[in-house]
Amino acid sequence: MKGKKDVYTASLGLIGSAIGLGNLWRFPYMVGKNGGGAFLIVYLCFVVLLGAPLMIGEFILGRSSHASIVGAFKSFTPGKPWYLTGGLGVLTSSLILGFYGLVGGWSLKFFYLSSTNAFINKNSSEMGEIFIKFIASPVDPIFWQILFMVITALVLISKIEGSVEKITKIMMPMLFLIIIVLCMKALVLPEIGKGMVFFLKPDFSRITAGGIQAAMGQAFFSLSIGMGVLITYGSFMKSDENLFISALHVIGTDTIVAFLIGVIVFPVAFTYGIDPGSGPGLIFTTLSSLFNEIPGGYGLGVMFFLLLFLAALTTAISLLESVVTCLNNQCKLPRDISVLIATVLITGLGSLTSLSLGVWRETNIFYILDYITVDIFLPVIAMLTSFYIGHVLELKVIQEEMTNNGVQFKHAKILQQMLKFVCPVIIGAVLLIGLVLN
């Protein structure tokens, strides 16, 4: 019984790290921007074809090396430059936090606004204006971003990370519950038909090479692939934990959450006349419009934005942790100093990112940072890691890691070939086509 419980908690921590702004904020905005249903189908194909083998591969690398990102590469190929792949993963985590922390701050601000009833009697276009005015302001979003990053850093310094697991345990069922309630509300909206057609009916003429590249990046981002977080989780996993089942839990939950958010956002957008391609404000403007119109909207709004903030926080903690662990282990800096340095630098970057949505609009830092990290760095790291695991790890190691309670895993060879050839070739091809044709 105890074994079962341990497996459950390990998966839960992982699920807490995987489910975050990627599902709740970025997924609907990407679907909206890239043509709806066709993007969804391509995204799902990448989740199955690349996400599953890569997630299992990162678990295997972590558990067999008992090391986190940089150390895992060093332990199998000492003295070779492969560890730089791990280094690039840590750099990517820091850069991603540069905009993740900012959007985390937006969720805090919206939690504050909804709890002070600031949206009352506002229609959807006024809501859109509130959002645009807020993100373009030179001070307000930076203040909320700093607050978000300070909370994240305090969790790491105060060693209450064990409590994060407890928060996740309460947060996840509540998030599911509120998503189900909002789905039921969305399903009776007048423009449900238009919303569902946009989200579910693929029109492949609307997706570009850049859209396919974006779908691949979104799959990696949402499943936390390519940043070493999964390698680190793998290193903590017990030898009797079934890696295949753990990956299935994480991928299944992550995908269901993203899908249900789409079921909510698009009917709301069409009903209240919000452009589904309106960009990073989509989740904020659609949902605050919905909360304004439905009975019980005040309580649902406060709850939703609180959960959005907590989901962002649990993920930001794992991102910052991987940067801090790297500074701590590789640069031999004390942990508290590592937290301080990482937080100050990342918050500085986040502030520049924020200004690029207002007074420094011409620099486009927000969109460039998002594109470079999610659509280029993550796929490149995923491609290298995939090839590395398939190439360097002996078949025997993969076989052993995938064998549970004496039940032999019969497809180790296929998994190895997938990681060695199939995944890197697909990733490389999508990247190339996206970069050339975009």
Residues that bind ligand PFF (CB under 6 A): 17-18, 20-23, 93, 221-222, 224, 227, 229, 315, 318-319
Cβ-based nearer residue to ligand PFF, 161 or 275? 161
CA 131, 133, 137 angle in degrees (round to 5)?
Answer: 120
Cβ-based nearer residue to ligand PFF, 22 or 267? 22
Instruction: Provide the 10 A C-beta neighbour count for residue 140.
Output: 16
Helices vs. strands in the chain: H and E counts, helices first: 22, 0
What's the rounded Cα separation, in Å, for the pair 107 and 112? 9
Q: Minimal distance in Å, beta carbon 183 to ligand PFF?
A: 19
Q: Minimal distance in Å, beta carbon 265 to ligand PFF?
A: 16
Q: Minimal distance in Å, beta carbon 429 to ligand PFF?
A: 23
Query: Can you say whether the dihedral through the CA atoms of 71, 75, 77, 80 is positive or negative?
Result: positive
Tokens of 270: 């069409």
Rg (CA), the chain: 21
Cβ-based nearer residue to ligand PFF, 63 or 420? 63
Q: Minimal distance in Å, beta carbon 342 to ligand PFF?
A: 14
Cβ-based nearer residue to ligand PFF, 21 or 268? 21
Instruction: Provide the 10 A C-beta neighbour count for residue 205.
Output: 8
Cβ-based nearer residue to ligand PFF, 129 or 161? 161
How many alpha carbons fall within 13 Å on the CB side of residue 107? 26
Exposure string for 320-334, b = 16+ CB within 10 A, e = fewer: bbbbbbbbbebeebe
The answer to whether 198 touches 37, Cβ cutoff 8 Å, is yes
Q: Minimal distance in Å, beta carbon 309 to ligand PFF?
A: 13
Q: Minimal distance in Å, beta carbon 220 to ligand PFF?
A: 8
Cβ-based nearer residue to ligand PFF, 137 or 330? 330
Q: Which residue is nearest to ligand PFF (CB)?
A: 22
